[in-house]
Structure 1
Amino acid sequence: MNELSTNDRILLIFNSATGQPGRLGTVLRKYGYEFDIRRPGEGDALPDDLSGYHLVVVFGGPMSANDDDLGNVQAIMEFLPKVVESDVLYLGICLGAQMMARHLGADVEPHPEGLTEIGYYPVQATDTGRDLFPDEMMVYHWHSEGFGLPEGAELVATGPTFPHQAYHIDERIWGIQFHPEVDDETHERWLANGGDKTDRPNGQGPDEQRAGRIKYDQAFGEWFERFAARVLVRERTTLQTG
């Protein structure tokens, strides 16, 4: 396994002009990391040298990982080989997971029956993912495409609608189909901007999603804190305050 950097900076790459780190930012700030935010769709260049970063996170977006005509997709797909060739830790969330899977040779495609996951849906640990995931957990989704499993990747979480929910390669490159960054503020912003797009096959409307947030978000957030400590942070300790 590659030796990971202990640098203090995390590169956050957004596929939208308004994306924010949400819960992910709240959790990782506790460990003293500094964020370098880039939005390639808004003209931000992506770095050539990743030696100064501990982690790269590519967030989701409304486009497809196959939309090569879009500037942000083209820029990130051209950037991902540098991530793979480096020692930096990588987390792809939804579109970010799909982009990395595509770069590594897997297909990114719609569900064969046209189903989506927009709202709260269950994921289950695979046999090899039981140290990272519970037997079943309700997580927040917003996607209509799924990723194939790249060669050399280990599947650690699955689901009934899209069977590939989380994978890793060498415990350094991680992809998850769902959205642990979505806190209350992010969720309400997404519903305000896209609530009219939730009536797709298998999608959940805004009221059902809000009910799901009340019921499931606390456990989902607690899981992400454990996941971040185990996978994204490892030996680093939180800052002492007070």
Structure 2
Amino acid sequence: MHFSGVCFGHQLLCRLLGAEVKPSPKGDWELGHSRVDLTPIGQKLFRTDDSYVHLHQMHQDHVVAPPTVESAKGLLPKGTKVYVWGKSKHTKVQGVYIKGKMFTTQAHLAFDEEMVKRQIEMRVEAGSIEDKDSEAADQAAETADLDHDGEVAAGAILRFFHDEDEDEDEDVD
């Protein structure tokens, strides 16, 4: 059985496996077009030699550290390798990969300029994004039209669901 989660789904699946999820230490948001630095497994999964991708973000909470076999309390077999495929300045666990089992991403792969701007607007109107975060919100709205790698990340997840990730974790530590 394969599991995948995006944003809250990423946080939920990691929490199910015993990882801690909480607001960022500064209480700030990661918004809009963001650089995500890829780990070696991330480069293999995304099939790129590039060391980073750009993805749209819209979150304040984050997974503090990836789940482990121990934290999963029997939900993961002994010896299971849990990988973090990417990190950003704001979020150290941008996604988790467990071969043949789970592929998550904090970023919103399908967001486009209109969606980013609307999500920011709704959060400002609701009071979720406060004055202290207004500069970040303005910056996110201004960069929402930039090219992002949502399709690259989606392709990696589709390969995962089609079991085309068979050797992706070989020789990666």
TM-score, L = length of structure 1? 0.52
The aligned amino acid for 1:177 is Q
**1:217-236 alignment runs, 5 A limit:** 217=148, 220-233=149-162
Structure 2 gap segments, 5+ residues each: 70-81, 165-173
1:118, 1:198 within 8 Å by CA — same for their partners in 2? no
C-alpha change, 1:189 and 1:113, in structure 2 (3 Å) is: closer
C-alpha change, 1:120 and 1:198, in structure 2 (3 Å) is: farther
Distance in 2 between the 1:184 and 1:117 partners? 16
- Equivalent residue, structure 2, for 1:161: 90
Distance in 2 between the 1:226 and 1:140 partners? 16
- Structure with higher Rg: it is 1
Distance in 1 between the 2:122 and 2:87 partners? 29
Aligned length: 145
In structure 1, which of residues 184, 205, 221 is the aligned counterpart of residue 137 of structure 2?
Answer: 205
- Equivalent residue, structure 2, for 1:112: 25
| Superposed CA offset, 1:174-211 (max 9, x none) | 121111021345334424422444445486225x3333
Distance in 1 between the 2:26 and 2:120 partners? 25
Distance in 2 between the 1:150 and 1:202 partners? 33
**1:185-200 alignment runs, 5 A limit:** 185-196=114-125, 197-199=128-130, 200=132
Structure 1 residue 142 corresponds to structure 2 residue 58:
yes
**1:39-50 alignment runs, 5 A limit:** none
2:34, 2:54 within 8 Å by CA — same for their partners in 1? yes
C-alpha change, 1:232 and 1:213, in structure 2 (3 Å) is: farther
- Equivalent residue, structure 2, for 1:239: none
- Three-state SS of the structure 2 residue aligned to 1:210 is helix
| Superposed CA offset, 1:150-187 (max 9, x none) | 01421111112211111112332112111102134533
- Three-state SS of the structure 1 residue aligned to 2:145 is helix
The aligned amino acid for 1:221 is G
The aligned amino acid for 2:88 is G
| Cα distance, 1:125 vs structure 2 | 0.8
C-alpha change, 1:226 and 1:142, in structure 2 (3 Å) is: same
Distance in 1 between the 2:27 and 2:116 partners? 24
**1:73-152 alignment runs, 5 A limit:** 87=1, 89-133=2-46, 134-147=50-63, 148-152=65-69
2:112, 2:145 within 8 Å by CA — same for their partners in 1? no
TM-score, L = length of structure 2? 0.70
1:155, 1:166 within 8 Å by CA — same for their partners in 2? yes
Which segment is superposed worse, 172-181 or 183-192?
A: 183-192
Distance in 1 between the 2:116 and 2:157 partners? 20
C-alpha change, 1:211 and 1:233, in structure 2 (3 Å) is: farther
1:118, 1:202 within 8 Å by CA — same for their partners in 2? no
- Three-state SS of the structure 1 residue aligned to 2:35 is strand
- Three-state SS of the structure 2 residue aligned to 1:141 is strand
